[in-house]
Structure 1
Amino acid sequence: MQSAWSKRAELLAAEYVQSSVDPRNSPTVYGSVVEFVENYLSLLYRREVGKGRRVWCPQWWSHAEAVARLDAVWRAWEHLRLDSRTGLSVWFLDHADPHMSVLFDPHGPFQFCSTASGHSDEMPPLQLIATPSGLYKSP
Structure 2
Amino acid sequence: MSDPDTEAEDGTEGETEDAPELMYDTLDAWFSDFLAHVYARDLGQSRVWCPEWWLHPEAVYRLDALWRSWEHLRLDGALGPSVWLRDHLDPHMAQLMSPDGPFKGCDHERGHRRPRMSRLPGDPPDGFF
2:23 corresponds to which of 26, 29, 45: 29
Structure 2 CA distance, aligned partners of 1:80 and 1:127?
A: 36
AA matched with 1:78: E
- The alpha-carbon distance between structure 1 residues 38 and 101, as it changes in their structure 2 partners (threshold 3 A), is same
Greater helix share, structure number: 1
Superposed, which structure 2 residues align to 1:85-104 within 5 Å?
Answer: 85-104=78-97
Shift of 1:116: 2.5
AA matched with 2:52: Q
Gaps of 5+ in 1: 1-22
Shift of 1:121: 5.1
Secondary structure of 2:128's counterpart equals: coil
Q: Give 1:61's aligned residue.
A: 54
Secondary structure of 1:34's counterpart equals: helix
Q: Is this contact kept in 1: 2:48–2:103, CA < 8 A?
A: yes
AA matched with 1:91: W
Q: Give 1:6's aligned residue.
A: none
Shift of 1:26: 2.9
Shift of 1:117: 2.0
1:109 corresponds to which of 102, 107, 115: 102
Shift of 1:120: 4.0
TM normalised by structure 1 equals: 0.74
Shift of 1:118: 1.4
AA matched with 2:53: W
AA matched with 1:44: V
Deviations 1:53-96 (A, max 9, x none): 10100000000000000000000000000101000001011111
Secondary structure of 1:122's counterpart equals: coil
Kindly indicate whether residue 81 of structure 2 is the aligned counterpart of residue 73 of structure 1.
no
Gaps of 5+ in 2: 1-16
